[in-house]
Amino acid sequence: MFDLLKAYIEKKYQDKSISHNLNAGNYDQVIWILGDGRSGTTWLFDLLGFDNRYRKMFEPVHPFFVDEAAHMSLNHYMTRENEDRNTVELLGKIFSGKLRSQKVDQFFSWRFIHKGLLVKDIYANLLAGWVNENYPKIKKVFIMRNPIPVALSKMKRNDWIWMEHPEDFLNQDLLVRDHLRPFQTFIQGVEDDFLTRQVLAWAIIHYVPFRQLKWQDACFVLYEDLYARPREEMKRIFQFLGVDADLDSAEFNEMITKPTKVSGDQSNILKGASPLYRWEKEVPDKTRKRCYEILTSFGLQEIYGPDFREPSMEELRKVVKSLETAL
């Protein structure tokens, strides 16, 4: 009975807070975190929202958890040429703050007055181009992580929903026409191996937005840099966003080392192990070389190099700038 009463009070509070902030125009400023699953999106979500100034919206573009997104495929691609009313309306509701959902609002804080929206998604990379064109004022933060530990992490969380078959991308005709036709045979021929397929999917969902966005359109973040130098990286990100944040506060310091709510018992932080190199003991050289071949096929290989140890922000910048001029 107590739990039901608590849930009722929380729901009433959320509804009242959201309505008040909508009417006050407090959702005009939007920060959108993009990235693959298991890439640090939730950690960055926590770090950016450490002081609860924003209304936090968790993965609203998720067809399995959000009713309004049920019509979409995982990693849905849209341009002006194939706009559909349901997706356009969903994105409009998200970026205006009108979307309400138990899943989306699961990290809603008790702070009544908000100073904007903080949205994070793991299945929206292929919408980045359309959103950039239609919502140019949205501040995009694009985080990426070494694809091999990403794939391993997904394999360990095999009870979650992942895109397990990269050939499903080929079901989106416009996506193939615009970006994937040169890789169609390569994608169809990938071996039946979970890790390899995840690295191929990783390559696709990074290659496409890199062709659509200019370097200045988003703040690009390497998970490895964020882990190694969290305060410096967060200072850079907040500067890009034009936000004055107290990075010396106790709340921020706690977020730096605190595992996220979606980390699970496999969290490297909980085990006292570095997430940057622990994966090396689990992946044979043959698999690593195959992953490098996959990234090479998409021109992404220099970001992490053949050993996948030290990502380079400068190489990432070169890749994005070269792909943005290739269209």
What is the C-alpha to C-alpha distance for residues 141 and 241, in angstroms, rounded to an integer? 9
Please name the residues in contact with 189: beta carbons below 8 A apart, sequence gap of 6 or more: none
What pLDDT score was predicted for residue 6? 77
pLDDT tens readout for residues 269-319: 444 557 889 999 999 999 999 999 999 999 999 999 999 999 999 999 999
Q: What is the mean pLDDT of residues 218-236?
A: 97
What is the C-alpha to C-alpha distance for residues 244 and 50, in angstroms, rounded to an integer? 13
Contact (CB, 8 A) for 85 and 134: no
Strand, helix or coil at 18?
A: helix
Alpha-helical (H) ranges within the chain are 2-23, 41-48, 85-96, 128-134, 147-156, 173-175, 184-188, 194-212, 223-228, 230-241, 250-257, 268-271, 285-297, 313-324
pLDDT tens readout for residues 51-107: 999 999 999 999 999 999 999 999 999 999 999 999 999 999 999 999 999 999 999
Please report the sign of the dihedral spanned by the C-alpha atoms of residue 147, residue 65, residue 178, residue 316.
Answer: negative
What pLDDT score was predicted for residue 270? 42
Q: What is the mean pLDDT of residues 194-214?
A: 97
Which residue type sits at 106? Answer: Q
Please name the residues in contact with 161: beta carbons below 8 A apart, sequence gap of 6 or more: 64, 74
CB-based burial of residue 241 (10 Å sphere; 0-12 exposed, 13-18 middle, 19+ buried)?
Answer: middle
Say whether pLDDT at 119 is over 70.
yes
Strand, helix or coil at 119?
A: strand
Q: What is the mean pLDDT of residues 35-49?
A: 97
- Please, what's the b/e burial string for 194-212 (b: 16 or more CB within 10 A of its CB; e: otherwise)? ebbbbbbbbbbbbbbbbbb
Quote the Cα angle for 215-323-214, to 5°.
20
Res. 196 pLDDT band, cuts 50 70 90: very high
* Cα→Cα distances 259→44, 158, 274, Å: 11, 19, 13
pLDDT tens readout for residues 136-157: 999 999 999 999 999 999 999 9
Res. 261 pLDDT band, cuts 50 70 90: low
What pLDDT score was predicted for residue 275? 81
Q: Express as a percent the part of the chain with pLDDT over 70.
A: 94
What pLDDT score was predicted for residue 153? 96
Under CATH, domain 2-324 is a member of which superfamily? P-loop containing nucleotide triphosphate hydrolases (3.40.50.300)
Question: Rounded mean pLDDT of the chain?
Answer: 93
Helix-, strand-, coil-residue percentages of the chain, each rounded to 5: 55, 10, 40
Please report the sign of the dihedral spanned by the C-alpha atoms of residue 191, residue 194, residue 199, residue 203.
Answer: positive
| Chain length of the chain | 327
What pLDDT score was predicted for residue 317? 98
pTM of the model: 0.94
Where do the structural domains in the chain lie, given as residue ranges? 2-324
- Please, what's the b/e burial string for 96-126 (b: 16 or more CB within 10 A of its CB; e: otherwise)? ebebebeebbebbeeeeebbbbbbbbbbbbb
